[in-house]
């Protein structure tokens, strides 16, 4: 893996300090939801960015870089080169896209290794595009929970861009630095900044070619690798799987600015498992509660599946900007994952465990 260019990191650190300073000014809940009027970039708003992304048809090459734990107590930058094709939205409003791995800079991979990496990347393509890329899922909620600040205008790939900061109104959320293509409002560059002012990921477009639907007639769009049905109600999704939920999200400690976006009923045809995936969002960011039925229990040294008196444990994992909490109760594995603060996600996991234990 390769490190992000040092000059790029330095410029992002400067922008991050601006974002952190402005965030401290915007956090008080008494401030009304607002967008700063961008100078020289009239018309930029959360809704305008979301609408432009929904209509864009383009072929794109990009470099995705993340600052991640290395498994040895440290962290480092890692990058991959990708190809992305965008085809607007389908009749149900879902984004049409195809995301594929081109190469892994800095790693000499033989053809077999590269194909293995591409297969692994393909299995995560949906998550990467839908949840690890800057996307506005709900313009109204995003405008309520975030503000836009125009920083300056620049040039990238020979195109004029508007550089803006997307600033959360709730402490503990990520901020973003974007370079929006002036013609399409598509981010030709984005950087995610943690609540503590650290740049944790970047996505840099290296080739940008808007086109039309006729030129994409032969493209095979991404589809889920497992059978999935979407619902607006969690109980309806659970009923479709024929399962009884161990915990009810109502009354648990879901972060106040997140609302249920959808419930997904997922079946794995290769394993005797099914999952209920609850997606919560604040308009821009998402957190997930995943209940998997039929999953094997974790290897706890002090308990067994038949020992109802044994204590329960919550396993936790934190990367630079993502936290995961997992527990297992009565044949159901529950996973909580998101970018909200460790305290908020831990509180949500604990409240779910209390309900599941009964």
Q: What is the pLDDT of residue 244?
A: 76
Q: Are 232 and 263 in contact (CB under 8 A)?
A: yes
Q: What is the pLDDT of residue 196?
A: 82
Assess whether pLDDT exceeds 50 at residue 24.
no
Helices (H), 233-341: 234-241
Q: What is the pLDDT of residue 249?
A: 63
Whether 340 and 265 map to the same domain: the answer is: yes
Instruction: Report the chain's mean pLDDT, rounded to a whole number.
Output: 82
Token pair of 120, please? 């692994």
Whether 85 and 152 map to the same domain: the answer is: yes
- Count of domains in the chain? 2
For residues 240-269, give the mean pLDDT: 80
Assess whether pLDDT exceeds 90 at residue 250.
no
Whether 232 and 210 map to the same domain: the answer is: no
* Domain-embedded: residue 28: yes
Q: What is the pLDDT of residue 251?
A: 59
* Domain-embedded: residue 315: yes
Whether 131 and 210 map to the same domain: the answer is: yes
Least confidently predicted of 122-126, 244-248, 314-318: 244-248
Q: Which residues contact 56 (CB under 8 A, 6 or more apart)?
A: 86, 88, 184, 186, 210
Q: What is the pLDDT of residues 109-160, one digit of tens each?
A: 999 999 999 999 999 999 899 888 999 999 999 999 999 999 999 999 999 9
Assess whether pLDDT exceeds 50 at residue 4.
no
Q: Is 352 helix (H, G, I), strand (E, B) or coil?
A: helix
The number of CA neighbours under 13 Å toward the Cβ of 193 is 25
- Residue 79 CA, chain-centre distance (Å), reads 17
Whether 110 and 139 map to the same domain: the answer is: yes
- Residue 281 CA, chain-centre distance (Å), reads 10
Whether 190 and 247 map to the same domain: the answer is: no
Q: What is the pLDDT of residue 1?
A: 35
Whether 164 and 30 map to the same domain: the answer is: yes
- The β-bridge partners of 79 are 65
* Domain-embedded: residue 1: no
Residue 174's CB is within 10 A of a number of other CB atoms, namely: 21
Q: What are phi and psi of 2, to 5 degrees?
A: -110, 155
The residue among 188, 216, 244 that closes a domain is 216
For residues 277-293, give the mean pLDDT: 92
Instruction: Report the share of the chain in percent with pLDDT over 90.
Output: 44
The residue among 172, 188, 216 that closes a domain is 216
Instruction: For strands 75-89 and 57-69, give the pairing.
Output: antiparallel
What's 271's domain CATH number?
Answer: 3.30.200.100
22 burial via Cβ count (<10 Å: 0-12, 13-18, 19+) = middle
Q: Can you say whether the dihedral through the CA atoms of 252, 349, 232, 237 is positive or negative?
A: negative
Cα 341–250–246 angle (5° rounding)? 95
Whether 198 and 256 map to the same domain: the answer is: no
* Domain-embedded: residue 222: no
Q: What is the pLDDT of residues 78-99, one digit of tens each?
A: 899 999 999 999 888 889 999 9
Assess whether pLDDT exceeds 80 at residue 339.
yes
**CA–CA distance from 50 to each of 61, 96, 104, 170 (Å)?**
20, 14, 30, 21
Assess whether pLDDT exceeds 80 at residue 50.
yes
* Domain-embedded: residue 248: yes
Token pair of 130, please? 């839908």
For residues 231-245, give the mean pLDDT: 85
Assess whether pLDDT exceeds 90 at residue 205.
yes
* Domain-embedded: residue 31: yes
Q: What is the pLDDT of residue 177?
A: 96
Instruction: Report the share of the chain in percent with pLDDT over 70.
Output: 80
Whether 86 and 185 map to the same domain: the answer is: yes
What's 168's domain CATH number?
Answer: 2.50.20
Q: What is the pLDDT of residue 309?
A: 57
Q: Are 241 and 283 in contact (CB under 8 A)?
A: no
Assess whether pLDDT exceeds 70 at residue 302.
no
Least confidently predicted of 4-13, 214-223, 339-348: 4-13
The residue among 165, 188, 216 that closes a domain is 216
Whether 86 and 45 map to the same domain: the answer is: yes
Q: What is the pLDDT of residue 6?
A: 43
- In which domain, by residue range, is 257 found? 227-357
78 vs 214 pLDDT, higher one: 78
Rounded to two decimals, what is the model's pTM?
A: 0.81
* Domain-embedded: residue 292: yes
Assess whether pLDDT exceeds 60 at residue 38.
no
For residues 163-171, give the mean pLDDT: 93
Rg (alpha carbons) of the chain, rounded to whole number: 21
Assess whether pLDDT exceeds 60 at residue 39.
no
Whether 137 and 212 map to the same domain: the answer is: yes
Least confidently predicted of 3-7, 157-161, 204-208, 230-234: 3-7
318 vs 235 pLDDT, higher one: 235
Whether 203 and 328 map to the same domain: the answer is: no
Assess whether pLDDT exceeds 90 at residue 25.
no
The number of CA neighbours under 13 Å toward the Cβ of 127 is 12
* Domain-embedded: residue 196: yes
Q: What is the pLDDT of residue 245?
A: 72
């Amino acid at each position: 893996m390769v490190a992000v260019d040092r000059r790029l990191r330095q410029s992002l650190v400067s922008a991050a300090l601006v974002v952190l300073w402005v965030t401290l000014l915007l956090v008080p809940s008494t401030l009304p939801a607002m967008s700063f009027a961008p100078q020289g970039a009239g018309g930029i708003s959360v809704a305008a960015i979301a609408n432009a992304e929904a209509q864009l048809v383009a072929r794109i090459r990009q470099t995705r870089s993340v600052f991640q734990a290395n498994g040895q107590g440290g962290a480092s930058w890692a990058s991959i080169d990708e190809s992305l094709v965008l085809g607007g939205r389908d009749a149900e409003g879902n984004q049409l896209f195809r995301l594929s791995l081109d190469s892994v800079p800095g790693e000499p991979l033989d053809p077999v290794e590269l194909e293995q990496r591409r297969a692994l990347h393909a299995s995560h393509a949906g998550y990467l595009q839908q949840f690890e890329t800057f996307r506005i899922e709900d313009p109204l909620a995003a405008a309520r929970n975030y503000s836009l600040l125009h920083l300056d205008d620049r040039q990238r790939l020979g195109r004029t861009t508007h550089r803006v900061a997307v600033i959360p109104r709730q402490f503990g959320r990520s901020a973003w630095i974007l370079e929006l293509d002036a013609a399409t409002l598509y981010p030709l560059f984005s950087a995610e900044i943690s609540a503590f002012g650290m740049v944790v990921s970047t996505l840099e477009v290296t080739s940008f070619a808007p086109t039309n639907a006729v030129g994409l007639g032969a493209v095979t769009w991404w589809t889920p690798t497992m059978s999935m049905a979407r619902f607006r109600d969690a109980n309806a999704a659970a009923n479709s799987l024929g399962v009884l939920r161990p915990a009810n999200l109502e009354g648990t400690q879901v972060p106040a600015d997140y609302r249920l976006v959808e419930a997904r009923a997922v079946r794995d045809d290769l394993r005797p498992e099914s999952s209920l995936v609850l997606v919560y969002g604040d308009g821009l960011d998402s957190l997930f509660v995943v209940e998997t039925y039929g999953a094997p229990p974790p290897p706890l040294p002090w308990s067994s599946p038949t020992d109802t008196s044994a204590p329960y444990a919550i396993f936790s994992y934190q990367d630079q900007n993502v936290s995961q909490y997992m527990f297992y109760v009565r044949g159901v594995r529950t996973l909580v994952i998101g970018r909200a603060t460790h305290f908020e996600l831990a509180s949500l996991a604990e409240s779910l465990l209390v309900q599941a234990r009964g």
